[in-house]
Amino acid sequence: MKNINVGIIGFGTVGNGVVHALISKRAYLRKRLGVSVNILKICDKDLRSRRSVKVDRRLLTKNYRQVTDNPNIDIVIELIGGIQPARDIIMRALRNKKHVITANKALLSVYKKGLFAAAKRNGVQLLCEASVAGGIPVIKALREGLVANRINSIYGIVNGTCNYILSQMSEKSIDFKDALLEAKKKGYAEKRPALDVEGHDSVHKLAVLASMAFGIEIKPRDIYVEGISSISEADIAYADEWGYVVKLLAIAKRRGREVAARVHPALVSKSHPLASVDGSFNAVFLNTDMLGDTLLYGKGAGAVPTASAVISDIIDIGKVIIGESSANIPGIVYDNQVDSIKKKDDFYTRYYIRFSAIDKPGVLAKVSKILSEHKISIAFVSQKARRREKIVPIVMMTHEAKESNLSKALRKIDSLSAIKKKSIVIRADMELK
């Protein structure tokens, strides 16, 4: 009976989780797959640090070629992250006719087309379940469970750091800086959190997910991005009063043969299922032509949940190796279901806007006039504090308006002498009711 031999490159957080699960669940996996999954080599730059899982030192190497070029290894699992040398490692493994599993969303977001093409050319599989939303089987859902569906829209909470910070700001009425500090203390945020809080990690994941959903190559540069660092405790409190929560959303929508993809903070109605996704949890809400709405929810990061996704890929490839399945349904089929990617300026949505204005008569009238000149009508407005010569927030919700009109109006409004800070905008998607 054939065994499945794997080699792991990157023995960090996820690598540890995968090795631990492959060892501790060996008998269970053998029962499910009918063959044993053996770890033949583990490569890492650092072989000295203690790991939570003990392995035979003879398995360890610093040289990735001992994995990619090893004739006995069937599957190479890349878990180092980053662009290089991860890209070279994967290409080398594919050229050597190894199946590859990766969790590397940063790499896939830019180079997926070439990597999937190389896998196809070499007659091997490239799977990446762990690259989006950690342990949640969202790619598998798109590849298999929803294979008959056309995807209309994706709304994802795919960054646990941002979701934790926004949840803390809301629960404890604290500002962004304090919530970030707390996230760092709890291990939910990196020392240098820009990739997460400025939205780029969500962009990487959306580039992968939206390309799969819409059959068109979407790269990070096609996705409008705004992070959560300018969101204040006051914005969250106003949103709460008006029946919304603030979430960092990764959104991709198809309209006819056009798709729009963006990542930004958004107001989500409290009655929408995404509103209750709190803390470090992730969720992906899909609307499809056959199933309608569906929500996938769970842990989007961490050694154990992410290992769950990697092992699911091992089992899928294992079935191909042992001949139980001729091939997996590919992750991305570039069938050009859409022709073009919409530009940010063409979006239509509702907007929450907070202006920081000097408290004197006539300011609100001036702001309203500029908005109306740009075809933006106000749904409701709130101006609470009334202290002479102090800066007070004017907070409003608009009706649906075009993004390019809003940008022009805000440039004018922010240049008024009575407006003292850059205005804050949070989009309120009409579909998140």
Q: Which residues are marked as active site? A: 205
Residue with tokens 């990446």: 128
- Chain mean position to CA 16: 22
Would you tell me how many other CB atoms lie within 10 Å of the CB of residue 178? 15
Residue from 87, 98, 99, 105 touching ligand NAP (CB under 6 A): that is 105
> C-beta of 63: minimal distance to ligand NAP in Å?
9
- Rounded CA gap, 67 and 15, in Å? 14
Q: Does 42 bind ligand NAP (CB under 6 A)?
A: no
Using left for φ > 0, alpha for ψ between -120 and 50, and beta otherwise, residue 107 falls in alpha
Residue nearest to ligand NAP (CB): 12
Site for ligand NAP in 125-154 (CB under 6 A): 130, 134
| Window 235 to 264, contacts with ligand NAP (CB under 6 A) | none
Stretch that binds ligand NAP, among 39-47, 165-173, 253-261, 368-376 (CB under 6 A): 39-47
Count of residues touching ligand NAP (by CB under 6 A): 24
One-letter amino acid at 92 equals R
- Shortest reach from residue 260's CB to ligand NAP, in Å: 25
Output 34 or 114, the one with its CB closest to ligand NAP. Answer: 114
Cβ proximity to ligand NAP, 87 vs 99, nearer residue: 87
> Which of 76, 90, 93, 103 is in the footprint of ligand NAP by CB under 6 A?
103
CB closer to ligand NAP, 215 vs 279: 279
Q: Is 10 in the site for ligand NAP (CB under 6 A)?
A: yes
Rule CB under 6 A: is residue 193 a binding residue for ligand NAP?
Answer: no
64 binds ligand NAP (CB under 6 A): yes
- Please say which residue, 9 or 392, places its beta carbon nearer to ligand NAP: 9
By CB under 6 A, tell whether 21 contacts ligand NAP.
no
Does position 226 interact with ligand NAP (CB under 6 A)? The reply is no
Determine, following the binding rule CB under 6 A, whether residue 43 of this chain makes contact with ligand NAP: yes
Contact by Cβ (8 Å): 168, 174:
yes
Q: Which of 193, 199, 227, 302 binds ligand NAP (CB under 6 A)?
A: 302
Q: Which stretch binds ligand NAP (CB under 6 A): 73-81, 209-217, 234-242, 420-428?
A: 73-81
Per CB under 6 A, residues contacting ligand NAP are 9-15, 43-46, 64, 79-81, 85, 103-105, 130, 134, 301-302, 306
